[in-house]
Amino acid sequence: MNSFTRWWEVARREFLTGVRRPAYWILLFLMGFLAYGLSGGAVTIASGGGDAGDPYLTSVFGQSRVQAVLLISLGALFLAVISGLTVIRDIELRVMEVLHGTRLTAREYVWGKFWGGVAVFAFIWMLYLCMSIGFNHIVRSAGDHIGPFSLENYLFPTLLFGLPQVLLFAGVPFLIGTWTRRPLLVFLFPMVILLLCFTVLTTWSPTWLSPEVNRVLMLIDPSGFRWLSETFLTVDRGVDFYNTSPLYPDAGFVVSRLILAATGLVAVAGAAASYRRRLRVGGSDSRIVRLFRRGRRAPAVAGPVPAASFRDLGMTTSPLGFWKAAFTITRSEVRDLVARPPMYFFVPLILLMAVSSTSLGYGFFGSRTLLTPGAVAEQQLNTLNLLICFLLLFYTVESLHKERNRQMHEIFNSAPVGTAAMLLGKTMGNAVMAGLILGAALVSAAGIILYHKLFNDSPVGFALFPFIATWGGVLLPTFIFWTALITAFFSLLRNRFAAYGAGLSFLVFTVFRQETRGTPGWLGNWQGWDFVLWSDMGAFSLDGTPILLNRLLYLSLVPLLVAVSIRWFPRRDFDATETLNRLHPKSLAVGALRLLPLAIVPIVLGSVLFTGARSGYQRADVGDWRREYWRQNFAIWSGSEMPSVSHVDLDLEIEPSERSIAVTGAYTFLNHRDYAYDALPITAGPWDPIEWTLAGESYEPEDRSGLFVFTPEEPLGPGDTVTIGFSYDLVRLEGMSRRAGGRAGQFILESGVVLNGFEPTFAPVPGYDPNIGAPYFEEPEPEEDFYEGETEPLIGWAGQPFTVRTRITIPEEYTANGVGQLVGDEAADGRRTVVWETDHPVRMFNIIAGKYDVMEGDGTAIYHHPGHHYNVEEMSATLDAARRYYAEWFHPFPWSVLKLSEMPAFSGGAQGFPTNITFSEGMGFLTRRDPRSHLGFMVVAHEAAHQWWGNLLGPGRGPGGNVLSEGMSHYATTLLHEQVYGDRYRIEFTKRMEEEYVRRRSFDRERAMVRSPGGFYNKGAWAMWMLQQEMGRENTLAGLRAFIEKYREDPDHPVIQDMLAVLRDFAPDTAAFDALTEQWYFEVVLPEYRLSDVTKVQEGDEWVVRGTVEN
């Protein structure tokens, strides 16, 4: 038998042994499930849509995207099991002496083992590709996301992205396992790579990252996903490109793939050398492991002992009690964990990843948030959750297998200690390890916060409660349940590798479901994923009840899992007959009946969660009234026009602790049109009962599933008015949500109240609401001249603006703000009543309330959480500047005060209601000041601009209308950056605008601004900025003032064409004006710049750069 034959025999036997192991069939089942799930189109390239079609999952780009992520997600860990433990397993089976008593050499053995393990994974991967092809082109072939079959589209990504990963993740763990012979160290390498990939290498790409650093990250990313994304996917190239173009890797990327593959093969060569040396010199531990054994005191040498009888020694024996035995085993496990090298690798690694998830995080426009204790606890929650679950999987399995690994299982299992005490002791030992990691993470979090406070001028100090509430309340129950589940897997499967396979599959399946279908519901969210959306204004006021029930549910499952583990834990080896007896239906039924009492509490808690989630404010039948509303009213009322509302009067009684509000109010309608109304429809929510009045008299309107139709005795003629009153009680966000992690929009909570009149959430909406019918109907394309004549408003209600009086009664500790100015404020018997009245008509109203401090400026006021004073001074100065300069540039500010109120993070973003801006706490109150991303200034300036662009000037409903609200507000923000901070800030802001636009644009779906319903925040702003450069600043501002003056009280609401028509009269060169506006407003264009003849010359202390820019 020659060398090749011996190598082949080792590889063949390793392959045949591998394909029979349960863990690998679990992997195959998991990959088959993923292949079926992916074939449904859950993961496709974000491009196309509409007439352009969908990008093909089966294109080379679609398959490259899927395979790059799938290989590193599954391959890294499973290849570590397949390859890294193969030599360790032979050592545990004590077959090494037999193998090397033959002519088999170390080199033949090592390379045979390596290629046999690689062949197992390659076999499973080929089966996955076959299943994927079958599901894509046979089962789901009719899907729009499935293209024509091409074998090359499947095999090329496997070679380009897959083969280097397979060799790397098989070779390096193989070296680690052969060298150290410690299973936990085998998993160190894939864990490091996975954590780096999913925190930095693949997803971390702020807009300010330099191209050079970005290129380095592309080349060192082992998955190749960053290169694929940054090169082809970040800037959308269109469906046709992704579906038909070949994928050409550049030379640098090909070299990086070759280096990764060579690294894996060199690692195997190193493993062969290490193994050969070990055979020659002997010893079972590597030098790195022996480092952790140094310093231990040598056992004392006993001297001669005088002869004595056993009776003279006074020895006694007695079995340990349950708790003493469990404590003894726990102490032994903790000592063993502390002495093992992996503890000193994994713990710093987990801390590094948790810290990086906080330190490298960035928000909108590349902004950096202030690291408050609550924000740090929330940001690190998922990272610690996933990483410690992985670590607990490895430690728990190795802890349960430890005695067999050391050939002490017969002695240990025959000890006079109950199985329950054994398992509890091991579980508590691993729990202590998890607790130590959380403690270390807490210290590191405190260090980060204090570092920023001392050296980065952060105003935030450390607080312990957010960490106790989030980590203690969410993570500890997860770790206890997970450890109990892994113990049950090990006890039932009675095999170390099968337990690994089951645990990894369970965890990977959980992550896959979360990534493709979003956060699971309360019942199935065992990890507590995305449980906490932290708000310093009241973190658990939204989802506190379901979080508590969920944690109690999974803690209540622990006794059941422990009972299963105790019954099946392999302290004895059974023969086939005994195994069959234990698996007999009668035996299983009796065992199940014995476990039934332990299942009562989980069943009750699970039922409460299940029914609560399906009966709360996101229950399925919430949409029933919407469907019925559309069915009954669309054909009759769609497109109907309403008279103006001239006055709104609201009397509100709010009880935040009960999430309730009592509403009494009236709308006065004024017919501003030239025809009469026989009927007036009003949309109300599912509030029952509602008491209505018409012209001061009780009235019963026709109820058409939420559309209440009023028929006055006399038609409402032109110029006539009529008042419709209403009264009802409602609960806003009744019960619990269906899942964690979502935002609430409008709510009444103890942490705050956020309500507005856009939707029938707390107040009726005049007319038929097209948004309620929008999910079931696509509006037809408007005509080219749709804006001719009177155009209905995009924002607010029909006709002209109206006045508002709002009376709000709320607990005394709250401050409640409405639109207009405060005309009354009284407090009595623990309740506060405030009255707000508008001193100039508005287009919409809102209510916001909270426990606030207030900073007053020059005709402005900022209401904020008492602990969020960090940026308030700058925000107040920004609001003052916006009020002053926007009034100079666009139109005098007609109201007496401009307010900005903070709202809890449950409602994201910001909204510029007239005189009453609302602002989520993370949008500016908790951001760090940075010239590259001046978010606090930017959002205040943008929302303040809505007082002019959106309120004084109400844009028309139709394509391009929203650009006059959002795009022009961003343009005003650009002007204010320049006015207050100069060119540096303005240049950085416009640079971020352009980058954001390019990253978010869709090549196939983007339409010209005059034909798009979107707001075009960024493109609309810098198109207007370019128009200003063409027209001149003073001409542009004069034209905009004339535009607002013309339309601010006109029932005809303008769109882009109306604005350009006014501005054209102020253009010094109308031909140039027409050319620029035609290109940027009526067409879809994107410049592509090319630099040439670039030189740099130092002139004094400055560098002067010159070059030619070509489009």
Mean pLDDT lowest among 306-310, 790-794, 1026-1030: 306-310
Q: Are 610 and 525 in contact (CB under 8 A)?
A: no
Among 614, 478, 645, residue whose Cα is nearest residue 553: 478
Confidence band, pLDDT 50/70/90 cuts, at residue 501: confident
Neighbour-count burial of 1034, counting CB atoms closer than 10 A to its CB (0-12 exposed, 13-18 middle, 19+ buried):
exposed
Look at residue 287 and tell me whether its pLDDT is greater than 60: no
Residue 630 CA to residue 636 CA, distance in Å, equals: 10
Mean pLDDT lowest among 330-344, 448-462, 918-932: 330-344
Residue 365 CA to residue 973 CA, distance in Å, equals: 14
Domain spans of the chain, in order of start: 3-288, 322-615
Mean pLDDT of 72-101: 76
Look at residue 701 and tell me whether its pLDDT is greater than 80: yes
Residue 224 CA to residue 164 CA, distance in Å, equals: 10
Q: Are 1020 and 971 in contact (CB under 8 A)?
A: yes
Confidence band, pLDDT 50/70/90 cuts, at residue 294: very low
Look at residue 575 and tell me whether its pLDDT is greater than 60: no
Give the model's pLDDT for residue 87. 82
Give the model's pLDDT for residue 283. 53
**Residues forming beta bridges with residue 809, ordered by sequence position:** 653, 833
Mean pLDDT of 264-278: 89
**Residue 712's Cα: distance from chain center in Å?**
51
Among 442, 434, 487, 494, residue whose Cα is nearest residue 463: 442
Residue 245 CA to residue 239 CA, distance in Å, equals: 10
Give the model's pLDDT for residue 296. 47
Look at residue 943 and tell me whether its pLDDT is greater than 60: yes
Task: Give the pLDDT confidence of 42-54 residue by residue, as tens digits.
Answer: 666 665 555 556 7
User: Which residues contact residue 362 at a Cβ distance below 8 angstroms, ignoring those fewer than 6 apart?
Assistant: 206, 368, 933
**Residues forming beta bridges with residue 836, ordered by sequence position:** 806, 822
The per-residue pLDDT of the chain, averaged, comes to 84
Look at residue 273 and tell me whether its pLDDT is greater than 60: yes
Look at residue 1103 and tell me whether its pLDDT is greater than 70: yes
Mean pLDDT lowest among 77-91, 851-865, 893-907: 77-91
Mean pLDDT of 739-756: 88
**DSSP letter string over 244-294?**
H------HHHHHHHHHHHHHHHHHHHHHHHHHHHHHHH--SS-HHHHGGGT
Mean pLDDT of 364-388: 79
Confidence band, pLDDT 50/70/90 cuts, at residue 100: low
Q: Quick one: angle between helices 983-1000 and 1017-1031, nearest 10?
A: 130
Give the model's pLDDT for residue 1082. 93
Look at residue 345 and tell me whether its pLDDT is greater than 60: no
- 352: its two tokens: 């590094």
Mean pLDDT lowest among 131-145, 244-258, 1061-1075: 131-145
Give the model's pLDDT for residue 187. 74
Look at residue 583 and tell me whether its pLDDT is greater than 70: no
Mean pLDDT lowest among 344-358, 467-481, 504-518: 344-358
Task: Give the pLDDT confidence of 123-151 residue by residue, as tens digits.
Answer: 989 999 999 999 889 888 777 788 899 99
What secondary structure letter does DSSP report for 1056?
Answer: H
- 717: its two tokens: 């003629």
What is the number of other CB atoms lying within 10 angstroms of the CB of residue 293? Answer: 10
What is the number of other CB atoms lying within 10 angstroms of the CB of residue 255? Answer: 12
Higher-confidence residue of 408 and 853: namely 853
Look at residue 829 and tell me whether its pLDDT is greater than 70: yes
Mean pLDDT of 446-468: 82
Highest mean pLDDT range out of 33-37, 326-330, 558-562, 668-672?
A: 668-672
**Residues forming beta bridges with residue 884, ordered by sequence position:** none
The torsion angles phi and psi of 717, rounded to 5 degrees, stand at -80, 170
Q: Where are the alpha helices (DSSP H) in 135-250?
A: 151-157, 163-180, 183-186, 188-196, 211-220, 225-228, 239-244
Higher-confidence residue of 625 and 1023: namely 1023
Confidence band, pLDDT 50/70/90 cuts, at residue 623: confident
Mean pLDDT lowest among 31-45, 228-242, 668-682: 31-45
Q: Are 394 and 432 in contact (CB under 8 A)?
A: no
Residue 1007 CA to residue 557 CA, distance in Å, equals: 54
Mean pLDDT of 887-914: 92
Confidence band, pLDDT 50/70/90 cuts, at residue 309: low
Residues 754/756/762/767 CA torsion (nearest 10 deg): -170
Residue 542 CA to residue 71 CA, distance in Å, equals: 38
Residue 198 CA to residue 186 CA, distance in Å, equals: 20
Q: Are 425 and 326 in contact (CB under 8 A)?
A: yes
Mean pLDDT lowest among 56-65, 843-852, 874-883, 987-996: 987-996
Look at residue 676 and tell me whether its pLDDT is greater than 60: yes
Give the model's pLDDT for residue 407. 67
Give the model's pLDDT for residue 343. 62
- 314: its two tokens: 């006074």
Look at residue 291 and tell me whether its pLDDT is greater than 60: no
- Distances, alpha carbon 291 to alpha carbons 267, 294, 341, 820, in Å: 22, 6, 9, 73
Q: Are 140 and 40 in contact (CB under 8 A)?
A: yes
- Measure CA of the first residue to CA of the last residue in the chain; give whole Å: 70
Confidence band, pLDDT 50/70/90 cuts, at residue 697: very high
Mean pLDDT of 902-911: 87
Give the model's pLDDT for residue 1059. 95
Give the model's pLDDT for residue 292. 44
Residue 287 CA to residue 278 CA, distance in Å, equals: 11
Mean pLDDT lowest among 394-408, 829-843, 1007-1021: 394-408
**Three-state secondary-structure class, residue 912:** strand
Look at residue 435 and tell me whether its pLDDT is greater than 60: yes
Half-sphere exposure (Cβ direction) of 147: Cα atoms closer than 13 Å: 22
Q: Are 845 and 804 in contact (CB under 8 A)?
A: yes
**Residues forming beta bridges with residue 448, ordered by sequence position:** none
Give the model's pLDDT for residue 293. 47
Give the model's pLDDT for residue 867. 87
Mean pLDDT of 551-577: 80
Q: Are 746 and 807 in contact (CB under 8 A)?
A: no
Give the model's pLDDT for residue 437. 82
Task: Give the pLDDT confidence of 840-899 residue by residue, as tens digits.
Answer: 999 999 999 999 999 999 999 999 999 888 889 989 999 999 999 999 999 999 999 999
Mean pLDDT of 524-545: 88
Residue 747 CA to residue 659 CA, distance in Å, equals: 8
Confidence band, pLDDT 50/70/90 cuts, at residue 391: confident
Mean pLDDT of 688-693: 93
Highest mean pLDDT range out of 436-445, 509-518, 555-564, 810-819?
A: 810-819
Mean pLDDT of 169-196: 82
Confidence band, pLDDT 50/70/90 cuts, at residue 644: very high
Higher-confidence residue of 794 and 314: namely 794
Confidence band, pLDDT 50/70/90 cuts, at residue 930: low
Look at residue 405 and tell me whether its pLDDT is greater than 70: no
Mean pLDDT lowest among 659-673, 735-749, 815-829, 843-857: 735-749
Look at residue 300 and tell me whether its pLDDT is greater than 70: no
Mean pLDDT lowest among 305-314, 713-722, 786-795, 1067-1076: 305-314
